[in-house]
Structure 1
Amino acid sequence: MSDIPQLHWTDGDTPRAARWRSENGTPPPKKVLLADDTLNADTAYRLACEGTALLWRGDFHNARQLLQALARRADKPSPAARKKAKAAPPSRTPAEAFHLHRQAQGQRARVLGMVLIPLDADYAIPLRRAPDVAAACLEAYGPADGPSVVSLRELLGRVGAHEWRKKGVEIAALGGRIHPHYGVFSPVRGEYVDLVASTPLPRPAPALAFDIGTGSGVLAAVLAKRGVAKIVATDQDPRALACAGENLARLGVDKHVEVVEADLFPDGRAPLVVCNPPWVPARPSSAIEYAVYDPDSRMLRGFLAGLAAHLAPGGEGWLIISDLAEHLGLRSREELLAWIDAAGLAVLGRHDIRPRHPKAGDPDDPLHAARSKEVTSLWRLGAA
């Protein structure tokens, strides 16, 4: 029990404590004030910026409104920040813009994470007009083991993930839906799915394929729908393994797919090995971001380094990856090609697709210059 983080605060003169829940491992705030509907947004924002957490005791809907007010203030630069921006060099490199964007995101998350909500032992919220979040918390945390405290921002993320899991994401290539679990990347960007669904399969048609880092299981399901008799889908995240198994069963292709816990490759060789690694070499700040950010390109380089040893003679490895990192100055095309060459691989072909997500065409996005040039590619690789 001593390893379980605890939040401590004082209620009147009485010391209190409860389990602290944080998906990304943020330590519990050291300064905690009890807050209710009488607290105005300007004071709350000042306290949050100073590192003081606000344990809410008022109406739940008012807490949500306060969080929205804090978000508006966080998104509006202060006079000092505007002055600093004007004094800054007129142009930044794409990499500098990316790192500044990530810093701003991190600071915003820290401030908004200072509004805290108590949870009873059964995940009920002991506040007026509070919704029923028990199912969402059970999916994210497992069975409750006593009272706890969580940031309202994180709790709303749990509820949103629960709704996505119920509703699912329609995948045209499957003629069905993928239901992402909490902490598992949702296939809302369909370009990489379309590439796997449309790229001609190696000849002769493979009877076996590996799906490396399966996540929700979407690519394994696409391969099964395309007629691959057996797919071994790997992941090292228990949430992903459970999510993939559930989705594959719901889609009726589970008899063709074996879900295996592994760091990258399963045992053996296959005539087709597919991998859609995280696209951006940067540090993730939460579990869900591991699907987007790959520190030092570790998964990408690991996949390339081990691919030749897991390809059957004449087989193909399909690397599906965006070139956003190249436009951000975080990884060059020359580096990627050098890693492919060093792994004893040759490029057999490449299929490209432009992104369709809203940010690609949003000129107000901080990374618009890079996003506007982004291309997602399926690289066909074989042993050199």
Structure 2
Amino acid sequence: MTSPATITWPEADGPRTARWRSEAAVPPPRRVVVADDRTTADSAYRLACEGTALLWNGDFQNARQLLQAVTRRLERKPRKHGETPIDAFNLHRQAQSQRARTLGMILIPLDAAYAIPLRRAPEVQQACIETYGPSTDEPSVVSLRELLGLIGAHEWRKKGVEIPALGERIHPHYGVFSPVRGEYVDLVAHTPLPSLNKAFDIGTGTGVLAALLAKRGVKKIVATDQDPRALACARENLTRLGYDQQVDVVRADLFPEGRAPLVICNPPWVPARPASPIEYAIYDSESRMLLGFLDGLAEHLSPGGEGWLIMSDFAEHLGLRTREWLLAAIEKAGLTVVGREDIRPRHPKSTDENDALHTARKAEMTSLWRLKAR
């Protein structure tokens, strides 16, 4: 078993070491200085850009203000514009990566019980337990940016996300993609079902589509995922909604055993490398999940059954994939398209003209491809 990463920083009485926590698997900073309420935003910004982390030893709320000040300085930097959509995408991802590195340089200590030993610090124990698991009885250090993400995820988990098609709320866990984009849910809610007997939901995530199929009357659903957090999240949501008798949640890389008259999948829609756990729902390096679903679909469909591939064409408008490539992959897998339902996006970025990828977002369409084995 690999030992947890550690971080070391200087103190007046000698170096200190603690466990380093990063859900994105970011390595611990090599250079660390202790900062407090006397640290200026300009100084913090300069150090962070140089790759020096600041371990905060002052008022917690002042640390939040410092993070906001560093963010504003980053936003003032001139943005590079690509000549082509794919150039714009690559520059956007590069800027996102640099932004994450810089903002991740403000660090917060946690004691052995996940309490923050700083003035005016919030209670974060439950948020940490939900993300990191039970306390290991050792102090640790985490970036303030990640810690705020934990707190936000904890609040989302408590409140849930309203799903109009369900008439209920879905409660996402940390690291599990929240169903805030309702277009794909609406497609599944309104497309005629080929059968009410059985369905497979591949890559279930929060369990929202499995719940929707159960609400629509499908008698037996097998929902799969390989992420332990997603499996726990889906089980919790389906139990809360009263669908746990209709839906079996199983760990699998794509398909469960057997066949079904309906097999649905909403894979990541951008063929690029994810940079954090939550991005696995959006970015899929070399289209691994998409191709895995297409290549295995025919042998998991009952005779006459349908596979529903729910995909945004955002990658096509970025120049990362072509429609011809997708159609060729469908044909190569021994499948044929028997129908397609389309819907325009409603998320705020689709109308934000200041977004770096606005041209592609404006043209985006989400589709439910109805596929059958040839």
Matches of 2:85 and 2:157, distance apart in 1: 35
Matching residue of 1:332: 322
Shift of residue 13 of structure 1?
3.9
CA shift for structure 1 position 15: 1.3
Letter of the structure 2 residue corresponding to residue 178 of structure 1: I
Q: Where in structure 1 are there 5+ consecutive unaligned residues?
A: none
Match of 1:113 in 2: 104
Aligned residue number for residue 176 of structure 2: 184
Q: 1 CA distance for matches of 2:90 and 2:35?
A: 34
Q: Summarize deviations over 1:293-324 as a string: whole Å, max 9, x none.
A: 01011100000000001000000000000000
Q: Give the secondary structure class of the aligned counterpart of 1:116.
A: strand
Q: CA–CA distance in 2 between the matches of 1:11 and 1:73?
A: 29
The equivalent of 1:157 in structure 2 is 149
SS at match of 2:165: coil
Match for residue 379 of structure 1? 369
**Which residues of structure 2 form unaligned runs of 5+?**
none
1:103 partnered with 2:103: no
What is the identity, as a one-letter code, of the residue corresponding to 2:124? V
Give CA-to-partner distance per residue, 1:149-173, whole Å, 9 cap, x none: 0000000000000000000001111
- Kindly provide the amino acid, as one letter, of the partner of residue 8 in structure 2: H
What is the CA deviation profile of residues 180-220 of structure 1, one whole-angstrom value per residue up to 9, with x for unaligned ones? 00000000000000000000011xx2301000000000000
Q: What's the CA shift string for 1:97-139, capped at 9, x where partnerless? A: 0010000000000000000000000100000000000010010
Provide the C-alpha distance between the structure 1 equivalents of 2:243 and 2:3, rounded to a whole number of angstroms.
Answer: 41
Q: Which residue of 1 aligns with 2:129?
A: 138
Deviations 1:341-370 (A, max 9, x none): 000000000000000000000100000000
Please, what is the CA RMSD of the aligned residues?
A: 1.0
Q: How far apart in 2 are the matches of 1:246 and 1:3?
A: 31
Question: What is the rounded CA distance, in whole Å, between the counterparts of 1:70 and 1:5 in structure 2?
Answer: 26
What displacement does 1:283 show?
Answer: 0.7
Q: Does residue 174 of structure 1 match 2:193? A: no
* In structure 2, C-alpha distance between the alignment counterparts of 1:180 and 1:44, rounded to whole Å: 34
Alignment of 1:210-229 (within 5 A): 210-229=200-219
Q: Using the aligned pairs only, state the percent identity.
A: 73
* TM-score calculated relative to the size of structure 1: 0.96
TM-superposed CA distance for 1:40, in Å, is 0.4
Work out the CA distance in 2 between the residues paired with 1:349 and 1:24.
39
Structure 1's consecutive aligned runs of 4 or more residues displaced over 3 angstroms after TM superposition are none
Deviations 1:7-46 (A, max 9, x none): 0111114110000000111110000000000000001100
Q: Does 1:250 align with 2:240?
A: yes
**In structure 2, how many angstroms separate the alpha carbons of the residues matched to 1:359 and 1:223?**
28
Partner of 1:279: 269
What's the offset of the Cα at 1:93?
1.0
What secondary structure is seen at the aligned counterpart in 1 of 2:303?
Answer: strand
Deviation for aligned residue 1:2: 6.1
Which aligned pairs between 1:271-310 and structure 2 lie closer than 5 A? 271-310=261-300
Structure 1 counterpart of 2:33:
33
Give the equivalent residue in structure 2 for 1:52: 52
* Letter in structure 1 aligned against 2:237: N
Mapped to 2, the partners of 1:95 and 1:52 lie a distance apart of 32
Give secondary structure in 2 for the equivalent of 1:255.
coil
SS at 2:15's partner residue? strand
- Is the counterpart of residue 17 in structure 1 residue 8 in structure 2? no
Distance 2:122 2:193 in 1: 49
Query: Amino acid of the residue matched to residue 182 of structure 1?
Result: Y
SS of the aligned residue for 1:97 comes to helix
Alignment-mate amino acid for residue 210 of structure 1: F
User: Is 1:128 aligned to 2:119, yes or no?
Assistant: yes
1:234 to 213, 224, 227: 224
TM-score by length of 2: 0.98
SS at match of 2:271: coil
Q: How many pairs align? A: 373
Cα separation, 2, equivalents of 1:184 and 1:357: 19
Partner amino acid, structure 2, of 1:40:
T
Q: For 1:73, give the aligned amino acid.
A: R
